[in-house]
Amino acid sequence: MTVGALTPCGLLQLRNFVTTSVCNSIEIVTEMATDVIVIGGGVIGLSIARELALDHTVSLIERGRCGQEASSAAAGMLGAQAEAYGDDLFFRTCVESREMFPELAASLLDETGIDVGLDLAGTLLLSFSEADIAARSQRFAWQKAAGFEIEQLSAAEIRREEPFISTDVLGGFYLPKDGQIDNRKLVHALQRSCELRGVKLVEETAVDGLAVENGKVNGVFAGKEKFAADKVVLAAGAWGTEINAGFDLPFIIRPMRGQILQFRTAKQLFKHVIVGPRGYIVPRSDGRVLSGATMDDAGFDASVTNEATAHLIESTAEISPSLGALKVQDSWTGFRPFAPDRMPVFGRVPNAENLLLALGHFRNGILLSPVTAKLIANDLRGIAAVPTEFSPSRFYSAAMGS
Ligand code: FAD
Ligand code: GLY
């Protein structure tokens, strides 16, 4: 027996059949329905699709090739503590996600044979002036009191750990649990795992808008195609609110450009992720060292600017003069997805049934990818709604003045 539903365009939509209809004089081809459509094949969309594929049929629609945007541009820091500002739910969620990486990396290796370069050797925070020391002590003192591992180091201790760090260093902190992952290998492994789990990956296909009927989302439009689904997860990164939702969203996601330089040393000279007062370096095991990153409000302009290059060379040289003196081997930009209150936007939208958002990961999307997949899957499976702090409903309350 076939289950069908009549749509306003006069289309008999049949599950598991491709059908054709004429809507507003455009011929619409409806693809086979899946339980879930994920829009966007970055680290967030891929992580969610991989998780949901355990008990759903899933299609993931990506405008270009999977993982080529912010998720490849990132430095791959797992800086739950290094990038924290206070002991709040966001911080705790970052820590929870960081703790998920050893199991995730092992499971991806097992499934796909891809080693995602998880390195939890710790992160060093450096100070080069009395003002840096005071600012860092103020910013990180609460972590020890809250029971998180953080050690204060003298300049001599830091240079013993990392001999190529500047002799101007005055001291710093060591965060033994923060680390890094090779984010490009991570997205590659997630994509392969999605394929192995039966996710239908539809690349080179841009979603134009959501298909909404009577306040319920039942698919997406891409050109002349409609992809039908029971649920839609919007994970299109910095472009998340550029897609025509068919209803008002009281917030927009904006791109926050980040620029990175890559240096290369003959062998790995640094053991840790190292955060200076004006930038950070992330050493990869093959001798590459990433130096990042700027934060520019420049729309979707993907240029690497002379000004940013000069700034990053200077911030690298402050951390390590010998590294900063090397030739820049490569450089690139990426667009961090930035919500108005800097917080992620997860979960259901009040005025659109069957739609979940996974947007606004800003500086921490690689770090937050496993926990995002868990939170979205728990919500979609009816196990638990995402915490209200992350829910899009916060913007609806603000818009209504409550
Ligand atoms: P993206 O990776 O941008 O993926 C979104 C996808 O949606 C893209 O592939 C895009 O093509 C697709 N898409 C857009 N529109 C459509 C459409 N209409 N139809 C179909 N598909 C569409 N995070 C960390 O945790 N650690 C770091 O060290 C770190 N460093 C960073 C350094 C830089 C320079 C930058 C820019 C970011 C950094 N981040 C870091 C942040 C992190 O990269 C992002 O938060 C994360 O990659 C966001 O993932 P995403 O999947 O939401 O977005
Ligand atoms: N988390 C590092 C960055 O966004 O630059």
CB 49 within 8 A of CB 235: no
260 lines ligand 1 (CB under 6 A): yes
Q: What is the pLDDT of residue 27?
A: 67
CB 327 within 8 A of CB 261: no
- The alpha carbon of 43 and the centre of ligand 1 are apart by a number of angstroms equal to 7
CA–CA separation, 43 and 68 (whole Å): 10
HEC string of the chain equals: CCCEEECCCCCEEECCCCEEEEECCEEEEEEEEEEEEEECCCHHHHHHHHHHCCCCCEEEECCCCCCCCHHHHCCCEECCCCCCCCCCHHHHHHHHHHHHHHHHHHHHHHHHCCCCCCECCCEEEEECCHHHHHHHHHHHHHHHHCCCCCEEEEHHHHHHHCCCCCCCCCEEEEECCCEECCHHHHHHHHHHHHHHCCCEEECCCCCCEEEEECCEEEEEEECCEEEEEEEEEECCHHHCCCCECCCCCCCCCEEEEEEEEEEECCCCCCCCEEECCCCEEEECCCCEEEEECCCECCCCCCCCCHHHHHHHHHHHHHHCHHHHCCCCCEEEEEEEEECCCCCCEEEEECCEEEEEEEECCHHHCCCCHHHHHHHHHHHHCCCCCCCHHHCCHHHHHHHCCC
CA–CA separation, 323 and 96 (whole Å): 33
Answer whether residue 17 shows pLDDT above 50: no
Question: Strand pairing partners for 227?
Answer: 31, 220
CA–CA separation, 363 and 260 (whole Å): 13
Contacts of 76 (CB under 8 A, 6+ apart): 117, 180, 181, 182, 183, 186, 282, 290, 366
62 lines ligand 1 (CB under 6 A): yes
Q: What is the pLDDT of residue 141?
A: 86
Nearest CA, atom 2, ligand 2? 363
- The alpha carbon of 179 and the centre of ligand 2 are apart by a number of angstroms equal to 13
Taking phi over 0 as left and psi of -120 to 50 as alpha, with beta for the rest, 347 belongs to left
Higher pLDDT, 138 or 202: 202
In a domain, residue 76? The reply is no
In a domain, residue 386? The reply is yes
- Indicate whether 384 and 268 sit together in one domain: no
Nearest CA to 134 out of 83, 174, 172 is that of 172
Answer whether residue 10 shows pLDDT above 60: no
CA–CA separation, 276 and 289 (whole Å): 14
In a domain, residue 61? The reply is yes
Looking at the chain, the whole-number percentage of residues with pLDDT higher than 90 is 83
Answer whether residue 20 shows pLDDT above 60: no
CA–CA separation, 42 and 280 (whole Å): 23
Nearest ligand 1 atom, CA 365: 45
- Indicate whether 319 and 194 sit together in one domain: no
CA–CA separation, 127 and 136 (whole Å): 8
CATH of the domain at 127: 3.30.9.10
Give the chain's domain count.
2
The boundaries of the domain holding residue 267 are 123-176+257-338
pLDDT in tens, 34-51: 999 999 999 999 999 999
Answer whether residue 281 shows pLDDT above 50: yes
CA–CA separation, 46 and 37 (whole Å): 11
In a domain, residue 296? The reply is yes
- Indicate whether 201 and 54 sit together in one domain: yes
Answer whether residue 307 shows pLDDT above 50: yes
- Indicate whether 246 and 352 sit together in one domain: yes
In a domain, residue 84? The reply is no
41 lines ligand 1 (CB under 6 A): yes
Lookup: tokens for 191: 């994509």
CATH of the domain at 232: 3.50.50.60
Read off the pTM: 0.94
Higher pLDDT, 125 or 21: 125
- Indicate whether 320 and 265 sit together in one domain: yes
Answer whether residue 11 shows pLDDT above 90: no
CB 336 within 8 A of CB 256: yes
- The alpha carbon of 335 and the centre of ligand 1 are apart by a number of angstroms equal to 7
Residue 33: phi and psi, rounded to 5, are -75, 145
- Indicate whether 67 and 166 sit together in one domain: no
Answer whether residue 5 shows pLDDT above 70: no
Mean pLDDT of 355-367: 98
Q: What is the pLDDT of residue 138?
A: 86
With b for 16 or more beta-carbon neighbours within 10 A and e for fewer, the 67-84 pattern comes to bbbbbbbbbbbbbbbbbb
Band (8; pLDDT cuts 50, 70, 90)? very low
- Domain end among 338, 359, 385: 338
- Indicate whether 155 and 278 sit together in one domain: yes
Residues with CB under 6 A from ligand 2: 75, 77, 83, 258, 292-293, 336, 363
Band (3; pLDDT cuts 50, 70, 90)? very low
- The alpha carbon of 67 and the centre of ligand 1 are apart by a number of angstroms equal to 8
In a domain, residue 5? The reply is no
Answer whether residue 9 shows pLDDT above 60: no
CA–CA separation, 149 and 143 (whole Å): 7
Pocket test for ligand 2, best of 261, 364, 366 (most atoms within 8 A of CB): 364
- Indicate whether 190 and 239 sit together in one domain: yes
Answer whether residue 262 shows pLDDT above 60: yes
Higher pLDDT, 327 or 136: 327
Q: What is the pLDDT of residue 333?
A: 98
CA–CA separation, 63 and 120 (whole Å): 33
Residue 232 corresponds to which amino acid? V
pLDDT in tens, 342-360: 999 999 988 889 999 999 9
Residues listed for the chain: 402
CA–CA separation, 331 and 263 (whole Å): 9
- Domain end among 338, 353, 369: 338
Band (21; pLDDT cuts 50, 70, 90)? low
Which ligand is nearest to the Cα of residue 202, counting in written order?
1
190 lines ligand 1 (CB under 6 A): no
- Indicate whether 345 and 334 sit together in one domain: no
In a domain, residue 316? The reply is yes
Nearest ligand 1 atom, CA 366: 25
Of 8-22, 184-198, 258-272, the range with the lowest mean pLDDT is 8-22
CB 217 within 8 A of CB 210: yes
CB 43 within 8 A of CB 365: yes
Nearest CA, atom 29, ligand 1? 74
In a domain, residue 3? The reply is no
- The alpha carbon of 293 and the centre of ligand 2 are apart by a number of angstroms equal to 6
- Indicate whether 204 and 353 sit together in one domain: yes
- Indicate whether 23 and 172 sit together in one domain: no
Q: What is the pLDDT of residue 86?
A: 93
Contacts of 157 (CB under 8 A, 6+ apart): none
- The alpha carbon of 159 and the centre of ligand 2 are apart by a number of angstroms equal to 25
- Domain end among 303, 338, 373: 338
- The alpha carbon of 224 and the centre of ligand 1 are apart by a number of angstroms equal to 26
Nearest ligand 1 atom, CA 77: 28
- Indicate whether 330 and 212 sit together in one domain: no
Q: How many CB atoms lie within 10 A of CB 86?
A: 10
